[in-house]
Amino acid sequence: MSKSASNLEQIPRLHHGENTLIWTVWFTYGAFYFCRANISAAVPGLKAPLEDGGLGLGADTIGWILGSLKIAYALGQLINGQLSEQLPPRKMLGIGMLGSAALCACFGAGTAAYFLLFVWAMNGYSQSLGWTPCVRVIANWIPVLRRGKVIGIVGTGYQVTAALSVILAGYSAQLLGWRGAMFVPAGVLAACSMVMLAFLKEHPDDVAAAKAVSTNVSGDDKLSFAETAYLTVTNPTLWMLGISLGMLNACRYGYADWGLAHLSDVQETGLGKSALKIAVLPVGAVAGVFLSGWATDRFFGSRRAPVICVLLTLLGVLTLFYDLMVRTSVIGTVILLALIGFCTFGPQVLLVGTAPADLARKGTSAAAAGFVNFMGYIGAALFGDVLTGHLYEYYGWEFAIYAWAACAFLAAIAAGVLWNATADTSCKAIENQADRVTS
Q: What is the DSSP string of 300-346?
A: STT--HHHHHHHHHHHHHHHHTHHHHHHH-HHHHHHHHHHHHHHHHH
Does residue 359 form part of some domain? yes
In percent, how much of the chain has pLDDT > 70?
Answer: 83
Residues 255 and 369 in one domain: yes
Residues 201 and 225 in one domain: no
Residues 24 and 134 in one domain: yes
pLDDT in tens, 295-337: 777 787 778 889 999 999 999 999 999 999 999 998 999 999 9
Per-residue pLDDT at 81 exceeds 90: no
Per-residue pLDDT at 3 exceeds 50: no
pLDDT in tens, 192-239: 999 999 999 888 875 545 455 545 444 445 566 677 778 888 889 999
Does residue 1 form part of some domain? no
Does residue 247 form part of some domain? yes
pLDDT in tens, 124-165: 999 999 887 887 788 778 775 565 567 667 777 888 888 899
Domain count, the chain: 2
CATH code, 191: 1.20.1250.20
pLDDT of residue 8: 42
Please say whether the beta carbons of 368 and 232 come within 8 A.
yes
The domain boundary, picked from 216, 232, 256, lies at: 216
Residues 304 and 439 in one domain: yes
Does residue 407 form part of some domain? yes
- Which residues 6+ apart lie within 8 Å of 224 measured at CB? none
Residue type, 208: A
Query: 40: domain range?
Result: 17-216
Does residue 9 form part of some domain? no
pLDDT of residue 179: 96
pLDDT in tens, 368-420: 777 888 899 999 999 999 999 999 999 999 999 999 999 999 999 999 999 98
- Which residues 6+ apart lie within 8 Å of 338 measured at CB? 280, 281, 283, 284
Q: How many residues does the chain have?
A: 439
Q: How far is CA 367 from CA 147, 224, 233, 358, in A?
A: 18, 12, 10, 12
Q: Rounded to the nearest 10 degrees, how much is the dihedral formed by the CA atoms of 351, 354, 360, 366?
A: 100
Mean residue pLDDT across the chain: 83
pLDDT in tens, 83-103: 765 788 899 999 999 999 999
Residues 239 and 131 in one domain: no
Residues 175 and 90 in one domain: yes
Residue type, 423: A
The domain boundary, picked from 216, 249, 284, lies at: 216
Residues 31 and 157 in one domain: yes
Per-residue pLDDT at 31 exceeds 80: yes
| Count of alpha carbons within 13 angstroms of residue 194, beta-carbon side | 5
Residues 221 and 354 in one domain: yes
Residues 274 and 351 in one domain: yes
- Which residues 6+ apart lie within 8 Å of 229 measured at CB? 367
Burial 284-297 (b: 16+ CB within 10 A, else e): bbbebbeebbebbe
Residues 230 and 341 in one domain: yes
Question: Can you state the angle between helices 157-176 and 271-278, rounded to 10 degrees?
Answer: 170
Residues 229 and 306 in one domain: yes
pLDDT of residue 437: 39
Does residue 285 form part of some domain? yes
Residues 24 and 166 in one domain: yes
Does residue 5 form part of some domain? no
Q: Is the pTM of this model over 0.85?
A: no
Per-residue pLDDT at 121 exceeds 60: yes
